[in-house]
Amino acid sequence: MSVSRTDYVMLGIKYNNSEQFWKSVKQHDFMDKDEFFDDCYDDRFEGITIVEDGMNGEYVVVGKVLAQGEDGEGIQMTPCLKMRSDEYVLQKALDKAFGISGNIQIWAFTHWH
């Protein structure tokens, strides 16, 4: 059962399930895959964060955190503009880190963990 929550606003790619995300990533070769991905979960790794629904795998969002609120504190008023330059830089970083590309959008959601 979920006991805490984090609210996110992210610029990134949303996958409809964990399997879809991992299939696309597995096409990319990593030296130490497990250690690399462990650094990314719910944390910023070189500006990239992976948020995965650990309960039932219904979503994965990978990208840049624009705003974050911990366990009920909510998100402070934060301007979130999607600039073409931000999208371009993020796409390059995702391609380099994971070998993935997709439709980069702004996502606002609550992540229970």
Instruction: Judge whether 5 lies within some domain.
Output: no
Instruction: Judge whether 61 lies within some domain.
Output: yes
Instruction: Judge whether 1 lies within some domain.
Output: no
Average pLDDT of every residue of the chain: 79
Look at the chain and report how many structural domains it folds into: 1
Instruction: Judge whether 57 lies within some domain.
Output: yes
Q: What is the pLDDT of residue 20?
A: 86
Give the global pTM: 0.78
Instruction: Judge whether 4 lies within some domain.
Output: no
For residue 99, the enclosing domain spans 11-112
Instruction: Judge whether 3 lies within some domain.
Output: no
Burial of 34: CB neighbours in 10 Å, binned 0-12, 13-18, 19+: exposed
Three-class SS string for 68-87?
EEECCCCCCCCCCCCCHHHH
**Among residues 84, 46, 38, which one has the least CA distance to residue 63?**
46
Give per-residue pLDDT as tens, 7-48.
999 999 999 988 888 888 765 555 455 555 565 655 555 678
Instruction: Judge whether 37 lies within some domain.
Output: yes
Instruction: Judge whether 104 lies within some domain.
Output: yes
